[in-house]
Amino acid sequence: MNILVLCTGNSCRSQMAEGYLRHFMGNRANIYSAGIETHGLNPRAVKTMAEDGIDISQHTSTHIDEYMHIPFEFILTVCDHAQEQCPIFPSSAQRLHHNFPDPAKAIGSEQDIESAFREVRNQIKVFCQTLAQTMLAKD
């Protein structure tokens, strides 16, 4: 099963979701993430995920065009902008959507920003765990 996680810049939310889906799905699925733009991997996302034992430090920020040849069973958009701008894939992929706040837009003290990243990470973790359980139950 091929699953694509898509967001605007492929720097935070989709990277976190890719990390958790890889963790929860194990070798039962191929997980990819991409953006409709590429903003580079956000170091705060890497740090926040590492706090929860998930290493995404080797992930890369990938543009959606690089995956157009892959037959996806599921395309998960994790922000409204990506859902609205998502290109048409030549497949029958089931589309799923959940809008998560963008932690990269958090403002305030360093502690406030770290807190925003952790909050979004935790939301993504719960969502991905539930999604993985649902998908594995159908398998």
Among 7, 17, 54, 78, the active-site one is 7
Residue 128 annotated as catalytic: no
User: What are the C-alpha distances in Å from 22 to residues 86, 106, 114, 119?
Assistant: 22, 26, 23, 20
Among 5, 79, 82, 132, the active-site one is 79
3-state secondary structure of 104: helix
At a CB cut-off of 8 Å and minimum separation 6, what does 91 contact? 71, 72
Among 2, 68, 73, 86, the active-site one is 86
* Cross-strand partners of 33: 5
Helix ranges, the chain (H): 13-25, 43-51, 80-85, 110-138
Q: Which residues are catalytic?
A: 7, 79, 86
